[in-house]
Structure 1
Amino acid sequence: MEGIGNYRFEIKLSADKLEAGIILKVDETELDNIVVMESDVLKALQAQKVSFGIKHEVVQAICTTPANFANVFVTIAAGSPHVVGEDGYVEYPYLKTIEAGTGPKELEDGRVDFYNVTSIPNVVKGQLLAKKIPAGQGQPGKTVTGEPIAPKAGKEVILKPGKNVVQNPERTMIYAAMDGQVSFTDQDKMNVFPVFEVNGDVDFGVGNIDFVGTVVIRGNVLNGFRVKASGDIRVLGSVEGAELDAGGSIEIKSGIVAQDKGSIVAGHDIRTSFIQNANVTAANQIIVTQSIMFSNVRAGKQIICKGAKGIIIGGVLQAGEKIGARIFGNNSATPTVLEVGVKPELRQELASLQKELQDVYENLRKTDQGLGVLNQILQVTGELPPEKRVMQIKLTNTRLVLEKESKALESRKKDVEAELLGEGPAAVDAYHVMYPGIKMTFGKLVHFIKHEYARTRFMVIDGEISSTTLL
C-alpha cells in the first residue's frame, strides 16, 4: 500500500500474477480535494514490481477523474498468459487419391452404377501412407511483474507401424512395403495387407474363408459360413447368421440380419446400415446408419446410431465411452440395456500383464543369482567345469529371452495404462428422444428411464447419473 497526501494506493496481484488491480483509497470527505499525478500511480505500481502490461488508459483516467475510482477495485495491468501449442496429428496422404475416386460411376449406356460405390483403399509399394505432424511448442507468457511464463507444448502423436510397412529413420513417415490395402488393427496400428476378392456370395460354391490379408466380398455372406481376415473385411451385400472375424475393420454395406446366430468381431471399427438379432463386437467403435434391433453390441469406445432413423430398440449395448442414437426404445417400453464407462477387458488384461511381469522379474532375479554364483566360481578357480560352463550358457540364453519378454510386456502395459488414463467422462446421448424401458448402467450406477426425454445427454456428475439438454 502506497500513501500519497490525502489518499493512498492499494495494489493487489492475482495468484498467477497475470492481473494487477488498484484501489484508490480515500476518505469520502476528501473526494473534492484529491489530485492524482501519473507519476504517483506508476510509483505505486513500481513499489509492487508491476512493470508489464500496464493499462495506461486506466492510469490516465484515474488521474483525470480520481473521484470515479475512489475506493473501487479496477484492473490496471494484465499479463500475457502462455499459449499451449497445437497437438500433433497424423496426415494420411493416400486417402486423397481414394476420396477423389469415390462416388457412383456412369456406365457406357448412360445408367449409373450405385452398387460399386465402395472404394477399396489399394496402395502400391513405396507409397507414402502416413505423415506425422509434430505438436506446436506454444508461446511463452509474462506476468505483470515481468517474470517469464514457460510455454506449454501440445501433445505429441505417435505413429504406430504394423505389418508390411516401413518408417523413415526419423520415424515421422510410414510407407507401404508391398502392394495391397491399408488396414488399421488393434491399438491403431497401420498395416498393408494383400486383398482377396469374392465376386459373389460366400456360399457353398466358395466355402469358408481364412485369409492373411483383407477380404472383399461383392455379394452376401450366407447363414453358417465363416470369414476370417487378419486385415479388413468388406461386404458389399448383407451378412446373415455367419461368423466374421477381422483383425482390422469390418464394413457391411447392406446390414446384418443374424437371427441370433453367428458373430461379427473386429479389432478396430465396424460400419454397417443396420444390425438385427446379432452379436457384434468392435475394439474401437461401431457406426450404424439406420437401426440396432434386439442385438448384443459391444464397442471399446463408442456405439453411434445417428442416421435418418437412428433407432436402438432392445438388446444389450456396451461401450467404453459413449452410446449415441437418434431414438432409444419405443412407445411399448421395450426393455433395452445400455452400459457405458467401463473397459473390463482392458482392466483384466492389465492385471494379467502385471502378474506376468512379476513372474518374469522373479525369473530374472533367479537367473542373475545363478549367473552370479558361477561368476564367483570363475573368479576363484579361473575356469568353470564343463557342466558349469553348460549351465552358464543356458542361464545366459534364458536371461536374453526373459529380457526380451519383459520389454514386450512393459510396452504393452504402458499402452494399456495410457488407454485407461485416456478414458473421458462416459455418456449416453439421445439426439431426438429416449422412451421409457431403458436400463442405463454407468459402472456400478444404475438408472431406469421411466418417462420420455428429448435431446438429452446422460452422464455421471458428482457420483450420480445426471441429465443435461443437448443443444
Structure 2
Amino acid sequence: MQIYENDYIVLTEDQSIVYIEVKKEGFSLKDFDTILQKYKRIKLASFAVLRTALSLGSDERVEIGSWLPPIEIEISKDCMKATMYINEDPSTIFHDEESMNRQIKEVAENAGIQFGIYSVSFETAMSEKSIIIAAGLPAKKGEDAKITYIKIPEKKPQILEDGRADYLDMNFIYEIEKDAWLGEKIPAQPGIPGKNVLGEEIPAIDGEDIPLNFEVASVYEQEEDGKTVIRAIDSGVIDYSNGTFSIQKHLLVKKDVGLETGNLTFDGSITIKGSILPGYSVVATGDIQIEGQEGVTGPKLIESTSGDVYIRGGIFGNGETVVRACGNIYVKHANDSTLKALKDIFIGSYAMGSDIKAQNIYVNEQQGKIIGGRAEATHSIHSAMSGNRLERKTELIIMIPDRIESAKLIKERREKIIKLEEEIADLDEKVFSLKPLLEHMNEAQRKTYDDIIEKINEKESEFKRLEVEVNEIAYQIKTMGDEIIHITKEAFPGTYIQIGKKSTTLNHTTCGKFKLENGEINV
C-alpha cells in the first residue's frame, strides 16, 4: 500500500512495515517531519537509517519503521490499566459514539481485556490521543484487628496551683472485680479479592491480627458477640507492665502493720490503711500503698520486688528504715532513711539525712529540699534547695555507668529472659491441657495444678523484673551525656556535687543546672 509520494520520495506499507524509496536527493529530515505530523501511524525505527537513505538517494526500498494500527491498546505491567492510543485522525475512524465504543471494545477484547472496560465519550476521543479505556479492581485489604483496653489512671501526684505536688491524692492502686472487663479485640476482617483487566483474580489481603497482651494465670479470654474479650479471673489489683495486663492479688490491711499482723510478705499488692510500726517489715511482689497521713516511723523494711511503693505521709526512719522498689517510690518526705528505686524517686516536700538512690530523683522544684545525706542518681537530680545555711554537708551525685559493663549486664539478663520465656511456655502448655479437667481433679491433682500456677507467677514476676532492669540499663546508656543536677532556688555552701568522675564542693550560695561542659562541672 502506498502511503505518500512526491518528487523526491515514495512511502509504502507492506505487512505493517513502512519502506522508503528515494527518487532523488534534496529531501531533508525537516521536510520529512511534516509527513510524520500528517501520518501519525508511521512509527520510525531509526532516524539514522532514514538520514542515510535520504542522503544516498538510492531508489532501493529501505525499511524505516512500522505502520501502526488506527487504534492501539497498551496494557500496564501490573495489568491493572489499559490505555488506548489513537494513531489516526479520529474523525476518519469514528463516526458516532455508539459504534465507536463497539469498535473500542472489539479491539480491547482482541488484546485480551475482559474486565473493567470504560465507555468513552465521542468528545474525549476527538480531543485526546491517549485514553484509559479499562481499569482493574484492586484487592481490598481487610480491616486490621482493633484492640481497646481498660484505661488505668496514671500513677502521679496532682500538681496544685502553686506548683506543689499533692502526694496525698494519687491514683496508685487500681482495684478490679472478678470477671471485670479489661479489654477486647474486634478480629481482623477478610479482604475482598480484586480483578485485573485480563479478568484474572487478585487475591484478597486479610487484615492484620494484633494479639491481646495479658497474663494467662490471672486473665482469661472468651468470645462475646464476635469479639475476643479479656476479663479478670479473680478480684485484685490491675497491673500493666511491659505492655502486658495482669491481675495481682490484693491484700488490704485495715489498720497498722504491727503486733497483730506481724511482718508481711505477700505475692501481690498491699494496701495499708494505717501505718507500719517500728521494727516491722512489709515485702510484696506488687505495689505497696501506705495510706496513713502521718506516714511511717521506724519500720525496718518496705520493699516491692516488681512494683512501686507509695507512702502518703512521710518517713521518719530513725536511721533504720529501708524502702526499696523495682519501679518508683513516691513519698511526702524522708527523714534519716534509705530509699532505693530501680526507676525514679518522687519526694513531695524534703529529704533530710537520707540515703537516696534512683535513676532520677525529683524533690519538689518549687519548695523541696535535700538537706544532708546522699542523693545518688544515674541521670538527674531535681530540687528547689540543697544543704542549708549551717552548711550541712549534702551529697548530690550522678553516677555515669560504664558502657561495656552495661552492655554485658544487658546480655546476661536477656539470656535469662529467653530461658524464662521457654520455661513459662512449657508451664502454660501444661496448664492448658489440665484446665478442662479441673472439675474432675482429686485433691492431689488439684495441688499439682495450683503448684504449676504458682511457678508461672513466680517466673513471670522474675521475667518482669529482668525486663525492667534491661530497659533501665538501656535507658541509662541512651541518655548518657544528658546528666544534670538542677537546683532551682538555692544550693548552699557545703553541697557536694559529683557528675561521673568530676566533683566539687560549693563554697558560696548558687543555683542552676549543673552538668559537665568540656569535661568539667559548670559551677
Q: TM-score, normalised by structure 1?
A: 0.52
- CA distance in 2 between counterparts of 1:428 and 1:262 reads 26
2:184 is aligned with 1:127: no
Q: Which residue of 2 aligns with 1:241?
A: 298
Q: Secondary structure at the match of 1:418?
A: helix
C-alpha displacement of 1:445: 1.0
Where in structure 2 are the equivalents of 1:217-232 lying within 5 Å? Answer: 217-232=272-287
C-alpha displacement of 1:159: 10
Indicate how the Cα distance of structure 1 residues 126 and 276 shifts in structure 2: closer, same or farther if over 3 A, else same: same
2:389 is aligned with 1:335: no
Checking the alignment, whether the CA contact within 8 Å between 1:98 and 1:121 is kept in structure 2 is: no
Q: Secondary structure at the match of 2:298?
A: coil
Where in structure 2 are the equivalents of 1:85-234 lying within 5 Å? Answer: 93-95=150-152, 120-124=173-177, 125=179, 127-128=181-182, 164=218, 178-183=234-239, 191-234=246-289
Q: Which residue of 2 aligns with 1:325?
A: 383
- CA distance in 2 between counterparts of 1:190 and 1:95 reads 11
Q: Which residue of 2 aligns with 1:272?
A: 331
Indicate how the Cα distance of structure 1 residues 415 and 289 shifts in structure 2: closer, same or farther if over 3 A, else same: closer
Instruction: Show CA shifts across 1:343-383 (max 9, x none).
Output: 47x97564356579999xxxxxxxxxxxxxxxxxxxxxxxx
2:314 is aligned with 1:255: yes
Where in structure 2 are the equivalents of 1:271-310 lying within 5 Å? Answer: 271-300=330-359, 302-306=360-364, 309-310=367-368
Indicate how the Cα distance of structure 1 residues 233 and 435 shifts in structure 2: closer, same or farther if over 3 A, else same: same
- CA distance in 2 between counterparts of 1:129 and 1:442 reads 45
C-alpha displacement of 1:321: 1.1
C-alpha displacement of 1:431: 1.5
Q: Which residue of 1 aligns with 2:519?
A: 463
Q: Which residue of 2 aligns with 1:401?
A: none
Instruction: Show CA shifts across 1:45-77 (max 9, x none).
Output: xxxxxxxxxxxxxxxxxxxxxxxxxxxxxxxxx
- CA distance in 2 between counterparts of 1:130 and 1:462 reads 53
Checking the alignment, whether the CA contact within 8 Å between 2:378 and 2:476 is kept in structure 1 is: no
C-alpha displacement of 1:191: 4.0
AA at the equivalent of 1:209: L
Checking the alignment, whether the CA contact within 8 Å between 1:350 and 1:413 is kept in structure 2 is: no
C-alpha displacement of 1:200: 0.6
- CA distance in 2 between counterparts of 1:95 and 1:120 reads 10
Indicate how the Cα distance of structure 1 residues 441 and 194 shifts in structure 2: closer, same or farther if over 3 A, else same: same
Checking the alignment, whether the CA contact within 8 Å between 1:94 and 1:129 is kept in structure 2 is: no
RMSD of the alignment, in Å? 4.4
- CA distance in 2 between counterparts of 1:174 and 1:440 reads 50
Checking the alignment, whether the CA contact within 8 Å between 2:287 and 2:308 is kept in structure 1 is: yes
Indicate how the Cα distance of structure 1 residues 198 and 321 shifts in structure 2: closer, same or farther if over 3 A, else same: same
C-alpha displacement of 1:433: 1.2
- CA distance in 1 between counterparts of 2:342 and 2:413 reads 23
C-alpha displacement of 1:419: 2.6
Indicate how the Cα distance of structure 1 residues 278 and 249 shifts in structure 2: closer, same or farther if over 3 A, else same: same
Checking the alignment, whether the CA contact within 8 Å between 2:168 and 2:313 is kept in structure 1 is: no
Q: Secondary structure at the match of 2:392?
A: coil
Q: Which residue of 2 aligns with 1:27?
A: none
Checking the alignment, whether the CA contact within 8 Å between 1:316 and 1:337 is kept in structure 2 is: yes
Checking the alignment, whether the CA contact within 8 Å between 1:200 and 1:218 is kept in structure 2 is: yes
C-alpha displacement of 1:337: 0.7
- CA distance in 1 between counterparts of 2:391 and 2:497 reads 14
- CA distance in 2 between counterparts of 1:335 and 1:188 reads 42
Q: Which residue of 1 aligns with 2:92?
A: none
Indicate how the Cα distance of structure 1 residues 314 and 416 shifts in structure 2: closer, same or farther if over 3 A, else same: closer
Indicate how the Cα distance of structure 1 residues 115 and 451 shifts in structure 2: closer, same or farther if over 3 A, else same: closer
Q: Secondary structure at the match of 1:281?
A: strand
- CA distance in 2 between counterparts of 1:117 and 1:285 reads 16
AA at the equivalent of 2:175: N
Which residue of the other structure, out of 504, 507, 521, is the alignment partner of 1:450? 507
C-alpha displacement of 1:115: 8.8
Q: Secondary structure at the match of 1:94?
A: coil
Checking the alignment, whether the CA contact within 8 Å between 1:305 and 1:311 is kept in structure 2 is: yes
Checking the alignment, whether the CA contact within 8 Å between 1:350 and 1:416 is kept in structure 2 is: no
Checking the alignment, whether the CA contact within 8 Å between 2:365 and 2:488 is kept in structure 1 is: no
Unaligned runs of 5+ in 2: 1-146, 157-166, 186-210, 223-228, 417-462
C-alpha displacement of 1:333: 0.8
Where in structure 2 are the equivalents of 1:72-83 lying within 5 Å? Answer: none
Q: Which residue of 1 aligns with 2:422?
A: none
Which residue of the other structure, out of 417, 424, 428, is the alignment partner of 2:485? 428
Q: Which residue of 1 aligns with 2:198?
A: none
- CA distance in 2 between counterparts of 1:117 and 1:259 reads 26
AA at the equivalent of 1:181: V
Unaligned runs of 5+ in 1: 1-89, 100-113, 132-157, 360-406
Indicate how the Cα distance of structure 1 residues 212 and 446 shifts in structure 2: closer, same or farther if over 3 A, else same: same
Q: TM-score, normalised by structure 2?
A: 0.47
Indicate how the Cα distance of structure 1 residues 161 and 259 shifts in structure 2: closer, same or farther if over 3 A, else same: farther
- CA distance in 1 between counterparts of 2:170 and 2:412 reads 49
Instruction: Show CA shifts across 1:200-237 (max 9, x none).
Output: 11110111111110000000101111101110000012
- CA distance in 1 between counterparts of 2:267 and 2:245 reads 15
